[in-house]
Amino acid sequence: MGRRGLGFAAALLGALSVSVAAQAASLERFQVYVRTTQAARADFEQQVFDRSGKRVQESKGSFTFLRPGRFRWTYAKPWPQVIVGDGERVWIHDLDLNQVTVRKLTRAIGSTPAALLAGASDIEKAFELSDAGAKDGLEWLDAKPREREAGFERVRIGLGVAGVEAMELVDHFGQTTQLRFTRIERNPKLDGSEFRFTPPPGADVLGEK
């Protein structure tokens, strides 16, 4: 999947808690989550599997989001990387290379789950949502991007009694990224400073400014 593939995992900002009835359908649970969760933070563990099911990558980190459109996704291991959405743009900073890639948030909505889940009410415009049944104690929701140029074929969101507890991403190369979320905190008080990003001195900045 590589370092650029880590950006998908920005897929992952969806991992936040919302209490809903256990018997509710996944689509209904997700709609409640969007309505009631204005901010959240959590830790995550990520694993990437190739087409044959062999694990090829592991990483850990944390994320925070504040609607609409602001989020911070941080990889601590194995490669330090920070993904920040400031409400207008999405910044991806590779610390080892001191390289920054930037995209307008409106263009990232259809291809970056992090931007999608931190957004407001445009989710169903960018993704086709459908119930995917129950598995491993969770109710699953399929989210298929409507944009053909999205970096993945689908996202699957696992909802449990604590809210969104897991996510899976399947890319066009058959690789699957699995995320599990812990220490979920819903609607914490945030001052917004962590969602501002300034490229560090000497960094190569690529993309749309």
Select the more confidently predicted residue: 121 or 13. Answer: 121
Percent of the chain scoring above 90 in pLDDT: 31
The one-letter code for the residue type at 158 is: G
Question: With 0-12 CB in 10 A as exposed, 13-18 as middle and 19+ as buried, what is 157?
Answer: buried
Mean pLDDT of the chain: 80
Task: For 162-186, write each residue's pLDDT tens digit.
Answer: 677 898 988 888 899 898 999 989 8
Mean pLDDT score, 118-147: 80
Q: What confidence category does residue 204 fall into, taking pLDDT thresholds of 50, 70 and 90?
A: very high
Beta strand residue intervals within the chain, DSSP E: 39-49, 55-66, 70-77, 81-86, 89-94, 99-104, 127-135, 138-145, 152-160, 163-171, 176-186, 204-207
- Domain residue extents for the chain: 2-207
CATH architecture of 2-207: Clam (2.50)
**Whether pLDDT at 120 is above 70:** no
pLDDT at 198: 93
Q: Is 111 helix (H, G, I), strand (E, B) or coil?
A: coil
pLDDT at 51: 93
Q: What confidence category does residue 127 fall into, taking pLDDT thresholds of 50, 70 and 90?
A: confident
Q: What confidence category does residue 53 fall into, taking pLDDT thresholds of 50, 70 and 90?
A: very high
Percent of the chain scoring above 70 in pLDDT: 78
pLDDT at 163: 74
pTM for the whole structure: 0.77
Phi, psi of 87 (to 5 degrees): 100, -20
Mean pLDDT score, 137-146: 86
pLDDT at 72: 92
**Whether pLDDT at 21 is above 50:** no
**Whether pLDDT at 150 is above 70:** no
